[in-house]
Amino acid sequence: MPQTSDSIEASRQENIARILDAAERLFRHYGYSKTNVADIARELDMSPANIYRFFSSKTEIHQALCARMLAASYEQALEISRLPLSAAERLRRYAHGQHRLTVETMLDEQKVHEMVVVAIEREWHVIEKHIDRIDGLIAGIIREGISAGEFANQDPETAARCFTASLLTLCHPQMVAQCLAKENRPTSDALIEFAIKALKY
């Protein structure tokens, strides 16, 4: 029985997921710089040529992994944005959630941190797209907060960009790594409350 286009695409997506899972395991264990396409192929008992059917390079695999990690971050933010809570509380939960995700996922595992740092340094479009999507979500929450009288009347898009930028030391992996143990930096609670308060005036 000939395969349908849907079954062919499902098989393709399954192979892509297997390659990304294997690459992530190896990147986590050995580090991004010490892993190559041949290692990933060996992990899957396939030839490097088979990997290249789906990805043109290790960089492209890394970009796809980065997009997958950022998608998880966005889904967490989206879920919080839909909660039946005040705008301020949703922003508070978003900020704490992103900080926790950064610390747990990107710093506790040094090899994962290396992957993220490489992606940031290369300024990949997937990161820029993620920032735009997050800013859009935050703008929606702020717009609702303005309508409810929680926040001062202001441009929601500009306010969202300012809000997320003010929390960079909580969500940017390199900044978090540098600031986490410093005693002369604000706590996450203090910084988040300061950013929310700024929206009210």
C-alpha span between 161 and 64 (Å, rounded): 25
C-alpha span between 118 and 29 (Å, rounded): 16
Percentage of the residues of the chain whose pLDDT score is greater than 90: 53
The reply to whether 99 and 163 lie within a common domain is yes
The reply to whether 78 and 28 lie within a common domain is no
pLDDT (tens digit per residue) in 85-144: 999 999 999 999 988 887 776 655 555 656 666 766 666 688 888 889 999 999 999 999
What is the value of pTM for the model shown?
Answer: 0.79
C-alpha span between 127 and 179 (Å, rounded): 22
The reply to whether 98 and 181 lie within a common domain is yes
C-alpha span between 40 and 23 (Å, rounded): 6
Q: Which of 4-13, 33-42, 53-62 has the lowest mean pLDDT?
A: 4-13
The more confidently predicted of residues 177 and 84 is 84
The reply to whether 175 and 120 lie within a common domain is yes
Average pLDDT over residues 70-82: 92
Domain that holds residue 17: 1-56
The reply to whether 132 and 189 lie within a common domain is yes
